[in-house]
Amino acid sequence: MIKDPIESLASIDREFGEHGGVNMSIEASTTFTVMEPDTMPALFEGDTEGREGCYLYGRHFNPTVFALGRELAALEGTEAAYCTASGMAAISAVLLQLCSVGDHIVASDTLYGGTYAFLNDYLPLKSGVTTTFVDLADADAVAAAITARTKLVYAESMSNPTLRVADIPGLANIAHGKSIPLVIDNTFSPLLIRPSAMGADIVVHSLTKFINGASDVIAGAVCASRDFIRELMDLRTGSLMILGPTMDPVTASKISLRIPHLALRVAEHSRRAEVFASRLADRGYKVVYPGLAQHPDHELMAKIRSNRYGYGGLFCLDMGSTNRANHLMDLLQNKYGFGYMAVSLGYSETLMSCSASSTSSELNQQALETAGITPGLLRISIGYTGSLEQRWRQFESALNELEVSKVA
């Protein structure tokens, strides 16, 4: 396997358009013709002609979506991948595939709010699958939480919003020692971190974020072994096939057109985030950024990241209170034109949100405290439009105004 994701991507067989177009065609059909009557039952019996699946019906496999899956498998260094209608569809399909009634999951205590809600509220209610949330930095606690019913260990490579970095090699050792898989959500760190190279068995993504990068589609992906992708697509028990969170081929085409500039975008997001984080820290602000020496996982990140893409495009600023965080966002958006008060991340423009009252609001007070999500924690996904110094001037002006205003 080639170790560099961008070299892997450039090495896969090019998918040309139907008429030799440089971009792949969009396969608009939801159903596919067979030339011999006997072929159809064979397809339904699982004769996939050596691929993860076959072209039978659009909810099963679609050639355009399949081609995007090959690109994501190359990016993540996995044998195969398939795409879904959202990041949550990818996460829920994987967890439902690995767990049955009464099973158990060990997961990080700092996760995206939707994933937390799926594990903490939805799964126990609908299936009796329970989760123990642990501090992943405590390897003994992770090992101790695994029981005979535990089916997987789950973590985000870089957590939302606290930017804690998962020790993927260490977690893989623990999980594999107990013969269970490690599932990693790599949404925050495509290219930066390649979990499969460090032992993760299944990598999930919200493509909605950095990978698509244009904030115009909701999408997800599961990157894993060919056998696991086949399982997800099984006609009787596959979570993707049966629950049907299918990606639309037009969406697959759009995302595929944006993957070639992912590396340029990620490098620039990271370059700017690092400058902002260090200037804000120098100004005395409480900044959370894995690229800063004071970040608890700085050394771990330096060890596991690819050093071409910096430390990621997000940083958090603890403004001390919701009021101050809101006031700063208001100034940044409405007076200085710096960015947008909006959830999500990985967009060309800067997106800012107060996590405790938005994308982490599914966590109760206790869970917020355990995760370290304070009320004034502002999550900033830094954009790359305009010049860095122009953006910094806007940010500084907003900070200067906030500081004189004495808003508490």
Catalog residues that contact ligand PLP under the rule CB under 6 A. Answer: 86-88, 112, 114-115, 156, 160, 185, 187-188, 206, 208, 218, 220, 359
Do 92 and 210 meet the contact criterion of CB atoms below 8 Å apart? no
- Around Cβ 286, how many Cβ atoms within 10 Å? 15
Is the Cβ of residue 270 or residue 394 nearer to ligand PLP in the bound state?
270
- Measured in degrees and rounded to the nearest 5, phi and psi for residue 273 equal -60, -40
What's the min distance (Å) between Cβ of 343 and ligand PLP?
7
What's the min distance (Å) between Cβ of 77 and ligand PLP?
20
Is the Cβ of residue 353 or residue 394 nearer to ligand PLP in the bound state?
353
- Sort strands 220-224 and 286-288 into parallel, antiparallel or unpaired: unpaired
Quote the CA–CA distance of 335 and 214 in Å, as a whole number.
24
Tell me the residue number closest to ligand PLP, measured at CB.
87
The angle subtended at Cα 290 by Cα 157 and Cα 391, nearest 5°, is 115
What's the min distance (Å) between Cβ of 71 and ligand PLP?
18
What is the 3 state secondary structure string of 296-353?
A: CCHHHHHHHCCCCCCCCCEEEEECCCHHHHHHHHHHHHHHCCCCEECCCCCCCCCEEE
Do 165 and 311 meet the contact criterion of CB atoms below 8 Å apart? no
What's the min distance (Å) between Cβ of 7 and ligand PLP?
26
What's the min distance (Å) between Cβ of 190 and ligand PLP?
11
Quote the CA–CA distance of 301 and 188 in Å, as a whole number.
13
What's the min distance (Å) between Cβ of 319 and ligand PLP?
21
What's the min distance (Å) between Cβ of 345 and ligand PLP?
7
What's the min distance (Å) between Cβ of 273 and ligand PLP?
16
Is the Cβ of residue 178 or residue 254 nearer to ligand PLP in the bound state?
254
Is the Cβ of residue 112 or residue 276 nearer to ligand PLP in the bound state?
112
Is the Cβ of residue 86 or residue 150 nearer to ligand PLP in the bound state?
86
What's the min distance (Å) between Cβ of 112 and ligand PLP?
4
Sign of CA dihedral 288, 289, 290, 291: negative
The candidate with the shortest Cα–Cα distance to 200, out of 231, 155, 233, is 155
The candidate with the shortest Cα–Cα distance to 160, out of 104, 210, 214, 222, is 210
Alpha carbon separation from 246 to 89, 217, 261, 287 (Å, rounded) = 9, 13, 25, 39
The angle subtended at Cα 224 by Cα 290 and Cα 263, nearest 5°, is 45
Is the Cβ of residue 24 or residue 94 nearer to ligand PLP in the bound state?
94
Is the Cβ of residue 208 or residue 394 nearer to ligand PLP in the bound state?
208
Is the Cβ of residue 156 or residue 268 nearer to ligand PLP in the bound state?
156
Is the Cβ of residue 65 or residue 281 nearer to ligand PLP in the bound state?
65
Bridge partners of 152, per DSSP, are: 105
